[in-house]
């Protein structure tokens, strides 16, 4: 495995950062998770746009221009000879001193890791996941705007810990008003009487790129789609529920908090959307 570290290509063993790095000390930085399908970077522009927007929002200067970043991604994939896999692109504020002041960090660090990926077995896409809601609440824009894909993932990690304790793969996080926000690392959709719903991002969700792809697919396939806040009750009584994310793609949910969703397996619209999603990435 070859890793891009600040302009150099190094082995996994040599890919090291400083203990003074503010990404490490404070979670001060941003990242993207990106898929490679058949040697192509899926939605590269969308991911880089989100990365550069996150950087602008937190006043982080990315030391690479947009096309240099794209080239670095392509070159890292090439050096790893990977046709299908996952890219983790990290930009950290870089090494500074122990104070939190980013002024003391003269240069941001860019790290690109590419790896094989298989998060759920194929049966899970047919059978659906079991999920639970958790007590951890999502940061909403009055705290850290969830549109920023920052290295501060403790909020989501606490959700993941609750999911682990419940023995499930992904959990559902609400915002402080009780509206369904998203999973620990996935957006959420529900379907009721043929209408597809997903929470608007202001409820407290990342503006997911897979989410946007599914919204586009719904339009293309003629499904009515509404971005509207909903509650756990709406999830329990939905005909279908699914999560979307770069790693998870489109994965059905068959049970939430002990309530069977629809027929207790991936429903017809979810299965249709997954099939069409897979066609678009081929």
- Where does this chain bind ligand PDD (CB under 6 A)? 33, 156, 182, 185-187, 206, 208-211, 244-247
CA angle centred on 218, ends 212 and 221, rounded to 5°: 140
The C-alpha atoms of residue 235 and residue 239 are separated, in whole angstroms, by 9
51 vs 269 by CB, closer to ligand PDD = 51
Q: Are 156 and 137 in contact (CB under 8 A)?
A: no
Given 12, 56, 79, 149, the catalytic residue: 149
Clarify whether 149 is annotated catalytic.
yes
**Residue 31 beta carbon to ligand PDD: minimum distance, rounded to whole angstroms:** 7
The C-alpha atoms of residue 96 and residue 258 are separated, in whole angstroms, by 48
Tokens coding 173? 């996080």
**Residue 272 beta carbon to ligand PDD: minimum distance, rounded to whole angstroms:** 19
136 vs 244 by CB, closer to ligand PDD = 244
**Residue 208 beta carbon to ligand PDD: minimum distance, rounded to whole angstroms:** 3
Q: Are 149 and 182 in contact (CB under 8 A)?
A: no
149 CA to centre of own chain? 8
Q: Closest-CB residue for ligand PDD?
A: 33
* Buried-exposed string 111-139: b where 16+ CB fall within 10 A, e elsewhere: bbbbeeeeeeeeebbeebbbbbbbebbbb
**Residue 227 beta carbon to ligand PDD: minimum distance, rounded to whole angstroms:** 15
Q: Are 244 and 186 in contact (CB under 8 A)?
A: yes
Rounded (10°) CA dihedral 170, 278, 85, 186: -20
130 vs 214 by CB, closer to ligand PDD = 214
80 vs 156 by CB, closer to ligand PDD = 156
**Residue 182 beta carbon to ligand PDD: minimum distance, rounded to whole angstroms:** 5
62 vs 209 by CB, closer to ligand PDD = 209
Q: Which residues are catalytic?
A: 149
């Amino acid at each position: 495995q070859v890793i891009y570290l600040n302009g150099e290509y190094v082995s996994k063993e040599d890919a090291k950062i400083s203990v003074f790095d503010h990404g490490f000390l404070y979670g001060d930085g941003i990242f993207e998770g990106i898929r490679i399908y058949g040697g192509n970077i899926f939605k590269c522009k969308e991911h880089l746009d989100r990365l550069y927007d996150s950087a602008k929002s937190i006043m982080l200067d990315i030391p690479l221009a947009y096309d240099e970043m794209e080239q670095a991604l392509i070159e890292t994939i090439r050096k790893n000879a990977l046709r299908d896999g996952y890219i983790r692109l990290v930009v950290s504020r870089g090494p500074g001193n122990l104070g939190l002041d980013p002024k003391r960090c003269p240069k941001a660090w860019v790290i690109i890791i590419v790896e094989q990926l298989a998060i759920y077995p194929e049966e899970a896409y047919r059978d659906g996941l079991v999920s639970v809601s958790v007590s951890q609440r999502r940061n909403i824009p009055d705290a850290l705007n969830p549109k920023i894909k920052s290295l501060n993932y403790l909020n989501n990690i606490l959700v993941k810990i609750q999911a682990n304790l419940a023995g499930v793969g992904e959990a559902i996080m609400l915002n402080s008003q009780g509206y369904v926000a998203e999973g620990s690392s996935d957006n959420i959709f529900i379907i009721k009487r043929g209408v597809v719903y997903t929470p608007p991002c202001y409820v407290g969700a990342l503006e997911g790129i897979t989410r946007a792809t599914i919204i586009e697919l719904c339009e293309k396939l003629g499904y009515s789609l509404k971005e509207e806040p909903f509650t756990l009750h709406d999830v329990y009584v939905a005909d279908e529920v699914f999560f979307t994310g770069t790693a998870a793609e489109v994965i059905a949910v068959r049970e939430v908090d002990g309530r069977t969703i629809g027929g207790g397996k991936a429903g017809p619209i979810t299965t249709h959307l997954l099939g069409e999603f897979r066609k678009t990435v081929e």
